[in-house]
Structure 1
Amino acid sequence: MSDHRLPLLWLCGPSGAGKSSAGWEIFAQLSRSGVRTAFVDGDQIGLCMPLPEDRAHRLRARNLAAMWPNLRLAGARCVVLSGFVHASEEVGEYTRLLPDAALTVCRLRVDPGELKDRFLGRGWRPDLLAEAVADAEALERTDFADVCVDTGGLTVAEAATLVRARTGLTEPACPPDGSGALVPSGPVLDPAPVLWVSGATATGKSTAGYEVFSRLVRSGVPAAYADLKQIGALRPGTGDDPAGHLLKARNLAAVWSGHLAAGARCLVVSGDADRDETVRRYAELLPAAALTVARLHASPATLAERVARRGGGGGPALPGDELKGLGPAALRQVAERAAADAAALDREGAGDMRVDTDGRSAEEVAEHILTTWPDHPERA
């Protein structure tokens, strides 16, 4: 074990306080300055259902602890975590499993009026507004956080800068020492179905993948979901793993082990699978998985329309969407690259299944995948 404790900044607060946005901005600021930083969204490492509410933090803590040695091996000097937490007992679930983390918990807050405006402005699940306001009021009565920062009236960049100033997170001193060993996923007697939803940019892999996961859960299948981009965010990249696939594969194996222990029967993954070699790298770390790659395809016109929509803020609200806010010229370049990538994947016959998404909603794409997936757990 290294003598150096790895800084871990945990941004918490009610929905709408800006914890994911500010967390990603801090990650971006540090990485731009040359500090190799990792970002972890707590929700993204705990997507396993059904799961009793009192076990949510236990699963997230276990999965973060399993990812921790991988982040150290990749040379991370700092980890930024965003996610809800309500009490010191919940924080303790993590600190018990991360003895070499220098943890700072920063609670973000905002006045009720602005919180309501932010929540409704997202256009997603307005029915949860009352719950968010009640959550904010309850958090105001707590004292478990090390620092509390009011983000009212601030841009995302201003909030991130203020958090860094209040927490002292400027230039983390922990050097990339490469300490720690990989955490094996443990023996699995029977191969478990794993569906990897892939495709070029803007084919809708994250949206369709999450819809497949949701449908499995609604049908009574204990299932887990992972977005590769959300479990392997590390910048600057390393010379031997520029695309981050090795770190993502290791983290996927670590998180999947936790989901299996929590009772999941299958895993849905969304993310890039650009070459057969990439898929093999993941498969080697998931040796007991019955892996099926469903490659989504879309025409150049459809890709251009979807890229433009995401540039305007449409699509799922995930931290780090690099299309959001780009100008028309930059978005056209992204769409052209996506069309070229889609054509190349088509020529190579990539994936086990090809799913055309033109003119189809995410629900229709998910339905098609589920009816053609050979290892669908309900048919296993």
Structure 2
Amino acid sequence: MTDQAQPRAEALLIGGRSGSGKSSVGWEVAAQLRTAGVGHALIEGDVMGEIYPPPADDPDTSRITQRNLAAVWANYTDLGCHRLVYTNTACVLASETALFTGALGDGTRLIRVLLTASDATVRARLTGRELGSELDQQLRRSDRMARVLDAGVPPETVRVATDGRAVRDIAADVITAAGWKPAG
């Protein structure tokens, strides 16, 4: 029996403030990778820790998020997957590294892409999507997170502006940042 080395796991972390386009870009990245025949899995990180009320011993749900991500990733790797596209507001922060190395393994290559958008773009996007009573809260949270993200991402993080650009073009830039273009 020959010992074939498994490819190194890679996680493309797509972060950004609310309204920056993370989900739309993540789904378009997945579509473009499928079209190119590049294997991958897509996880919307927001659902990995969505539990109410949060556990008393895990109020920010970081431990349950890590456990859920590890379980889902184990299922994907059992099927031979070694590339993950993960979207979540804060996933690109340096402080989140332990979550990913704990869930995906220490040898995982983390590729961080921070999507940016102006306040005007974010307001237009969130106004179109937030139909309930939380628009003002979302706008305040988005503004605060824009500052946190700007200050808290590692220097190697690739920043991609989304203002006035087509989702397919943004996704192509994100795939290029990951180096996941197929050969040829």
TM-score, normalising length: structure 2? 0.84
Cα distance in 1 for partners of 2:99, 2:177 equals 25
Cα distance in 2 for partners of 1:362, 1:291 equals 22
Decide which of 147, 163, 168 is 1:343's aligned counterpart.
Answer: 147
> Against the structure 1 CA distance between its residues 251 and 358, is the aligned structure 2 distance closer, same or farther, given a 3 Å change threshold?
same
SS at match of 1:345: helix
Decide which of 99, 116, 125 is 1:306's aligned counterpart.
Answer: 125
Shift of 1:199: 1.1
Q: What residue identity is the alignment partner of 1:279?
A: T
Cα distance in 2 for partners of 1:378, 1:307 equals 34
Cα distance in 2 for partners of 1:192, 1:311 equals 36
The question of 1:197 aligning with 2:14 is answered yes
**What corresponds to 1:283 in structure 2?**
101
Cα distance in 1 for partners of 2:94, 2:152 equals 10
* Residues 198-277 of structure 1: pairs in structure 2 closer than 5 A: 198-273=15-90, 275-277=93-95
> Against the structure 1 CA distance between its residues 258 and 377, is the aligned structure 2 distance closer, same or farther, given a 3 Å change threshold?
farther
Decide which of 159, 168, 171 is 1:366's aligned counterpart.
Answer: 171
Q: In percent, how many aligned pairs have the same letter?
A: 30
**What corresponds to 2:157 in structure 1?**
352
Paired residues in the alignment total: 176
**What corresponds to 2:138 in structure 1?**
334
Q: CA RMSD in A?
A: 2.1
Note the alpha carbon deviations across 1:27-77, whole angstroms, 9 max, x for none: xxxxxxxxxxxxxxxxxxxxxxxxxxxxxxxxxxxxxxxxxxxxxxxxxxx
Q: What residue identity is the alignment partner of 1:301?
A: A
Does the CA contact (< 8 Å) of 1:303 and 1:339 recur in 2?
A: no
> Against the structure 1 CA distance between its residues 296 and 240, is the aligned structure 2 distance closer, same or farther, given a 3 Å change threshold?
farther
TM-score, normalising length: structure 1? 0.43
Cα distance in 2 for partners of 1:198, 1:250 equals 20
Cα distance in 2 for partners of 1:258, 1:349 equals 29
SS at match of 1:295: strand
Cα distance in 1 for partners of 2:181, 2:11 equals 10
Q: What residue identity is the alignment partner of 2:177?
A: T
Cα distance in 2 for partners of 1:266, 1:349 equals 21
Structure 1 gaps of 5+ residues are 1-187, 313-324
Larger Rg: 1
Cα distance in 2 for partners of 1:258, 1:366 equals 26
* Residues 107-118 of structure 1: pairs in structure 2 closer than 5 A: none
